[in-house]
Amino acid sequence: MAEQEKREEAAEEPAAPVEGETGEALEAEAAQAAEGAVVEERRPARAQREVAPAGPSSAIVVPRRTPGQPVVSRRGILRLGFWSSLGAIIAGGAAAGLDLFYPRGVTGFGGKVTVSASDIPPPGQKKEIPEGRFWLANLTEEQGGPGLLALWWKCPHLGCTVPWVPAFVWPDPTTGAPKQGWYRCPCHGSTYTDAGIRVYGPAPRSLDTMALTVDNGNVIVDTGNITPGGPDNPGRAVRL
């Protein structure tokens, strides 16, 4: 028993340092042992981080938004601007088409032009109405009237503006006698009577007429309602 107790006491006593070993060597061994223990403790956490995230393989991962980064990308802004511009162009074209086929509040040429009673020319005379692009002629019986006639001043040949030339002399087609005062196209010489009937030149027809009504002494000419000219122009005259 005594020998066994001595052996246990000897085993419990720390081994004496081997000759040549210093305290620094022992400290280095202790430090290495401590580092090994730390590495062993960290391994389970690292292995845990490397494990694939739980969930189905088709899961959608939403990237985290970095502070200061715009929500919409530049490409998205350009795409939005393109489609917005295209939509605005289409809408503008549609609105222009509606105004073309369904004009609203048209004034001047293309709409209704009012000539006051004070501006109506006396019988046998004409008056130029620039706003409506027509001549207002007050025809006498000799000229094919009586009555008022609105003649579009556009020559049916090539569209030149036809003036009234009071000093121009041309043979009257009904009598053959020289007559002074005609509508005369300055472009190719087409010549028309007081009622706009063609008597000479390359024009394919007489001057066109516009619809005309009389209201309380005033004359209302619808410049959007045009009838091709013809030999019956005098019969379209409207009496006051």
- pLDDT digits 0-9 by tens, 128-187: 999 999 999 999 999 999 999 999 999 999 999 999 999 999 999 888 999 999 999 999
Phi and psi torsions of 135, nearest 5°: -100, 130
Those residues whose C-beta lies under 8 Å from the C-beta of residue 160, and which sit 6 or more positions away, are 154, 185, 186, 187, 188
Give the rounded percent of residues in the chain with a pLDDT score beyond 70. Answer: 65
- pLDDT digits 0-9 by tens, 103-135: 555 557 889 999 999 999 999 999 999 999 999
3-class DSSP state of 65 = coil
Average pLDDT score, the chain = 80
Contact 217, 239 (CB under 8 A): no
Which domains are assigned to the chain? Answer: 112-232 (2.102.10.10)
Angle at alpha carbon of residue 190, lines to 187 and 192, rounded to 5°: 135
pLDDT confidence tier of residue 2, bands split at 50, 70 and 90: low
Peptide bond into 146 cis (omega under 30): yes
3-class DSSP state of 114 = strand
